[in-house]
């Protein structure tokens, strides 16, 4: 039977880059069945909710979702849709790979870093958020559990093994955040000992940021807590040419959602300017998750060749072409 995938085109540039991505998957011979679902502003207008029940059901039923960026309306009491989905489906691991291609505006050429971010705990636990009545004091709770830390670090080492990667760096701030980051680091060290075939290193987060900018080639897999992972993975996107080149996978025990890291880009929406690479690279993560490694490499090679040859690249990459031209260039290579 065919693999069915839930597709959420999303808002802003979402529908156009998702369209481009599905054309690429089909051309590569993936033979998927797609079931489309609404979320974000598109859903609010049609169904009066940001994430309709029907969408949640489809995500659960098909297990695999490919998602465009969603606009969360600001200041209207809506919680972030992405946070909602991560919590609802317990998508505890956020994988954000960055790979440098020549021909982008990136400053480096040899980068292949996978940031694995804990996606449900830490500073983003949403717990204990209070502001005192007079507005003079605010609090929030950071939660690290042994179970959560062990799960994400083990996931990082298992992924490293599976992908033939050599080194895992645990990133922390245990010198200051003694309880939370301290527990994370302790667990990371324990787990690291179970993987003698992989080099284990650790780094304090501020130094890590400096090292990533000065000497990024030293990194392979980075595993870290929620807030640090959010920031570091955007830094990594900047190392390889920006958000248009940055995919992400949110993975849990039963479900997985693959998406671009960036948002709906309202400034360029509807202008045929978006770089679809982010979501195409996310679909490559999806193919690898499904064990379809041949198709994944085939598509990655096509994207790489388009970018490195400068054939019809988009503006963010320094080119002069639009989403559809870029997509055509990839399709021709497939």
* Interface with ligand NAI in residues 16-75 (CB under 6 A): 69-72
Could you give the CA distance from residue 126 to residue 88 in angstroms, rounded to a whole number? Answer: 14
* 236 scored as a contact of ligand NAI (CB under 6 A): no
89 contacts 71 by C-beta, under 8 angstroms? no
- Angle at CA 279, nearest 5°, toward 250 and 64? 45
Structure tokens at 142: 């950071």
CB of 53 to ligand NAI, least distance (A): 20
Contacts of 152 (CB under 8 A, 6+ apart): 92, 93, 116, 117, 118, 223
CB of 43 to ligand NAI, least distance (A): 13
Give the one entry of ligand NAI, Mg ion, none that residue 230 binds, where binding means its C-beta sits below a cut-off of 5 to 8 angstroms depending on kind: Mg ion
Mark 274-313 with x for binding to ligand NAI (rule: CB under 6 A) and - for no binding. Answer: xx--x-----------------------------------
CB of 173 to ligand NAI, least distance (A): 24
234, 305, 325, 328: which is the annotated catalytic residue? 234
Give the one entry of ligand NAI, Mg ion, none that residue 244 binds, where binding means its C-beta sits below a cut-off of 5 to 8 angstroms depending on kind: ligand NAI
Give the one entry of Mg ion, ligand NAI, none that residue 29 binds, where binding means its C-beta sits below a cut-off of 5 to 8 angstroms depending on kind: none
Q: Is 124 a catalytic residue?
A: yes
* Interface with Mg ion in residues 208-267 (CB under 5 A): 230
* 264 scored as a contact of ligand NAI (CB under 6 A): yes
**What secondary structure does DSSP assign to 205-248, as a single string?**
HHHHHHHHHH-GGG-SEEEE-HHHHHHHHHHHHHHTTSGGG-EE
46, 178, 206, 254: which is the annotated catalytic residue? 206
Q: Is 254 a catalytic residue?
A: no
Q: Which of 28, 37, 212, 265 binds ligand NAI (CB under 6 A)?
A: 265
Among the listed residues 268, 302, 285, the one whose alpha carbon sits nearest the alpha carbon of residue 101: 302
Give the one entry of Mg ion, ligand NAI, none that residue 82 binds, where binding means its C-beta sits below a cut-off of 5 to 8 angstroms depending on kind: ligand NAI
Give the one entry of Mg ion, ligand NAI, none that residue 70 binds, where binding means its C-beta sits below a cut-off of 5 to 8 angstroms depending on kind: ligand NAI
Could you give the CA distance from residue 189 to residue 186 in angstroms, rounded to a whole number? Answer: 5
Could you give the CA distance from residue 108 to residue 242 in angstroms, rounded to a whole number? Answer: 12
* 243 scored as a contact of ligand NAI (CB under 6 A): yes
For residue 8, what are the β-bridge partners? 67
Among the listed residues 11, 60, 13, 59, the one whose alpha carbon sits nearest the alpha carbon of residue 37: 59
**CA-to-CA dists, residue 266 to 69, 202, 209, 248, 278, angstroms:** 11, 38, 29, 20, 16
Mark 67-86 with x for binding to ligand NAI (rule: CB under 6 A) and - for no binding. Answer: --xxxx---------x----
Q: Is 173 a catalytic residue?
A: yes
Q: Which of 177, 316, 319, 330 binds ligand NAI (CB under 6 A)?
A: 316
Residues in contact with Mg ion by the rule CB under 5 A: 230
Which residues does the annotation mark as catalytic?
124, 173, 206, 230, 234
């Amino acid at each position: 039977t065919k693999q069915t995938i839930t597709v959420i085109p999303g808002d802003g540039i979402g529908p156009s880059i998702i369209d481009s991505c599905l054309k690429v998957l089909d051309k590569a011979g993936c033979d998927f069945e797609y079931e489309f679902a609404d979320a974000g502003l598109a859903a609010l207008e049609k169904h009066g909710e940001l994430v309709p029940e029907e969408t949640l059901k489809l995500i659960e039923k098909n297990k695999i979702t490919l998602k465009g960026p969603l606009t969360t309306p600001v200041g209207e009491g809506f919680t972030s849709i992405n946070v909602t989905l991560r919590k609802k489906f317990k998508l505890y691991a956020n994988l954000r790979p960055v790979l440098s291609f020549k021909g982008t505006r990136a400053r480096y050429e040899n980068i292949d870093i996978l940031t694995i971010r804990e996606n449900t705990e830490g500073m983003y636990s949403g717990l204990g958020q209070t502001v005192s009545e007079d507005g003079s004091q605010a609090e929030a709770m950071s939660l690290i559990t042994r179970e959560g830390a062990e799960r994400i670090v083990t996931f990082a080492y298992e992924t490293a093994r599976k992908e033939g990667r050599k080194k895992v760096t645990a990133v922390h701030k245990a010198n200051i955040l003694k309880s939370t980051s301290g527990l994370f680091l302790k667990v990371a060290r324990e787990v690291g000992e179970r993987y003698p075939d992989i080099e284990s290193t650790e780094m304090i987060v501020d130094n890590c940021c400096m090292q990533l900018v000065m000497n990024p080639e030293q990194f392979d897999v980075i595993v870290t807590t929620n807030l640090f992972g959010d920031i570091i993975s955007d830094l990594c996107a900047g190392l390889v040419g920006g958000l248009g080149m940055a995919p992400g996978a949110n993975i849990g025990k039963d479900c997985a959602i693959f998406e671009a890291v960036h948002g709906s880009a309202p400034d360029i929406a509807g202008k045929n300017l978006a770089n679809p690479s982010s979501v195409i690279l996310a679909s490559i993560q999806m193919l690898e998750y499904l064990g379809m490694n041949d198709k994944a490499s085939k598509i990655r090679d096509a994207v790489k060749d388009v970018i490195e040859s400068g054939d019809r690249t988009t503006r963010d990459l320094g080119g002069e072409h639009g989403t559809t031209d870029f997509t055509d260039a990839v399709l021709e290579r497939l």
